[in-house]
Amino acid sequence: MTIKVLAYDDNEVIRTSIEILIASEDGLELVAAIPNAETVETDVKELRPDVVLMDIDMPVVDGVTAVKKIREFNPQLPVIMLTIFDDNENIFKAICAGASGYLLKQNITGEIPGAIRNVLEGGAPMTGAIAKKVLQMLPQARSEEPEKGNLSAKESAILQLLVKGYSYKMIAGEQGISIDTVRFHIKKIYDKLHVHSATEAVSKAIRDKLV
């Protein structure tokens, strides 16, 4: 099945790079590459993408606002943010808005195909460096009882692989278990950490030093 990708970036060079990359990748189709997210609601509803690549800093309607708009009518659509390394404040805002992952712009040509497949398999493509910088901005609150003790050894190992950006398929291969078993363990991790997505689990794992 072809994966339909919708991209937003005000940089023409970046848009062209994405177009060339997607066109050269089997199983991926770029349905549109748009310079700003002013029409994001109409675009998503009409083009029906499987994944959205979203620049954070754009004129008219920026990426964070666009993610919020998408989440109002489509909570599940994966949105991968394209960002520069030091843009901590906007990345943090994107987490709160419901972004699914983050790619550094200087690395997007090499990372986009894998990140797209990763996020569709339930992963949270996000470099550890970005996650750590963002989470330094969060209040360092701790629960009275460390939640790490609630995770089994297998769950802790799987959570560590999630933090590294592994997809469900990659975790299954690393752990020597089936994808269904990975899903079972990840559901237990979500329940124990009181989160609802891989991105939230990764954020909490780094913030609370669970891995």
Q: How confident is the model at residue 97 (pLDDT cuts 50, 70, 90)?
A: confident
Structural domain boundaries in the chain: 3-135, 147-207
CB 52, CB 8: distance < 8 Å: yes
Region 3-14 average pLDDT: 94
End-to-end Cα, the chain, rounded Å: 35
Q: Could you give the residue ranges of the DSSP H alpha helices within the chain?
A: 12-23, 40-47, 63-73, 88-97, 108-120, 128-135, 153-163, 168-175, 179-193, 198-207
Task: Round to whole Å and give the CA distance between 156 and 201.
Answer: 11
Shortest CA distance to 202 belongs to which of 69, 101, 62, 104?
101
CB 55, CB 63: distance < 8 Å: yes
Residue 118 has pLDDT above 80, yes or no: yes
Region 137-155 average pLDDT: 61
Q: What local confidence, expressed as pLDDT, does residue 140 receive?
A: 46
Express as a percent the part of the chain with pLDDT over 90. Answer: 42
Question: What count of residues does the chain have?
Answer: 211
Condensed to tens digits (0 to 9), the pLDDT of residues 23-37 reads: 999 999 999 999 999
Query: What residues pair up with 32 in beta bridges, in sequence order?
Result: 6
Residue 126 has pLDDT above 70, yes or no: yes
Q: How confident is the model at residue 21 (pLDDT cuts 50, 70, 90)?
A: very high
Domain 147-207: top CATH class: mainly alpha
The CATH number of the structural domain formed by 3-135 is: 3.40.50.2300
Q: What local confidence, expressed as pLDDT, does residue 130 receive?
A: 66
Q: How confident is the model at residue 210 (pLDDT cuts 50, 70, 90)?
A: confident
CB 91, CB 102: distance < 8 Å: yes
The whole model's pTM is what? Answer: 0.70
Residue 189 has pLDDT above 50, yes or no: yes
Tell me whether the CATH fold assigned to 3-135 matches the one assigned to 147-207: no
